[in-house]
Amino acid sequence: MNRIQQETDLPERVKIVEVGPRDGLQNESATVPLEVKVGLIERLGAAGLPAIETGSFVSPKWVPQMADSDRVYGAIRKRAGVGYPVLVPNSRGLAGALKAGVQEVAVFAAASESFTRKNINSTIDESLERYRSVVAEALDSGLRVRGYVSCVLGCPYEGAITPDAVARVAGQLDSMGCYEISLGDTIGAGTPRDARDMIRVVSERIPVQRLAAHFHDTYGQGLANVLAVLQEGVSVVDGSVSGLGGCPYAKGATGNLATEDLLYMLDGMGIKTGVDMGRLLDAGRFICEHLGRRPVSRVGQARWVRKD
């Protein structure tokens, strides 16, 4: 098989990880009631999404929207075969997650020194050392652990980030025992070539089958970037229902790529996901009606009036 053929190969199936209830809602200024969060998560589960981030066990001082994550997790009617991961930034967060009975957690690192300092007031190496004990304890407790790397295609403070810097951080999370590493373009500044080149470098260190894409859509490059990494062998992509979200440490960054738009592209290309568009749109309408605004997703906007 020649190089051109390899680059046009696409996976037969893609796993969509839904991050809207955590990554999306955490940036909302008005408190979203517990019953609305639970209603959103259950609708997303009914749509066939195999993994749904349900919350974040962080200090309510820093992320007040996530203060009820333990109660949200407890109130969800869990579906067989669906994962409900939560974010834990430290050992205290892990203790709360374990008390709530979670089965999967996620830890976040960044490929940018400046972003790491602004976000958690530490260096990259200090953050990784902190996560090492958190991941070890989680694994010892029988939990699955997913790793995230932020700022993989650019930083709001440093600008360009090299693929080698991303690979170094991703490799550390991999060595800790994370089963999958999600690579996040936090400010949504990357282009398809950037995304492709980054994946090629990181996959020299971690098998591409254990990498995921997490692309924000600030500059409208999200879908193009997803296509670029699918052609490199990535088959797990994060999405946020109705394009909810942003980043408190990256001014101007929009939400993660809208799950509806991602699904529309994958469906149109014949790539299987197991996700039902109608039910996904229902979930998007549900949360947008509560928030009092129209969906950010292109598919949601196109079908908002039609209600189909």
pLDDT at 5: 38
Structure tokens at 74: 């407890």
* Between residues 253 and 79, the one the model is more confident about: 79
Residue 257 clears pLDDT 80, i.e. is over it: yes
Q: What is the pTM of this model?
A: 0.94
71 has pLDDT over 70: yes
pLDDT-derived band at 294, boundaries 50, 70, 90: confident
Q: What's the Cα-to-Cα distance from 259 to each of 104, 151, 293, rounded to whole Å?
A: 21, 20, 17
More confident residue, 3 or 147: 147
Q: What is the average pLDDT score of the chain?
A: 92
Which structural domains are found in the chain, ordered by start? 3-302 (3.20.20.70)
Integer Cα distance of 153 and 299 in angstroms: 26
Closest CA to 138 of 186, 164, 177, 173: 177
Which is nearest to 206 in space by CA: 236, 242, 244? Answer: 236
* SS3 call for 67: coil
Spatial separation of the C-alpha atoms in residues 13 and 235, rounded to whole Å: 7
Percent residues over pLDDT 90 in the chain: 83
- Total length of the chain: 308
pLDDT at 264 over 70: yes
**Contact between 74 and 100 (Cβ < 8 Å):** yes
> Which residues does the annotation mark as catalytic?
247
Write down the pLDDT at residue 7. 43
- pLDDT per residue as tens digits for the range 180-215: 999 999 999 999 999 999 999 999 999 999 999 999
Model confidence pLDDT, tens digit, residues 124-165: 999 999 999 999 999 999 999 999 999 999 999 999 999 999
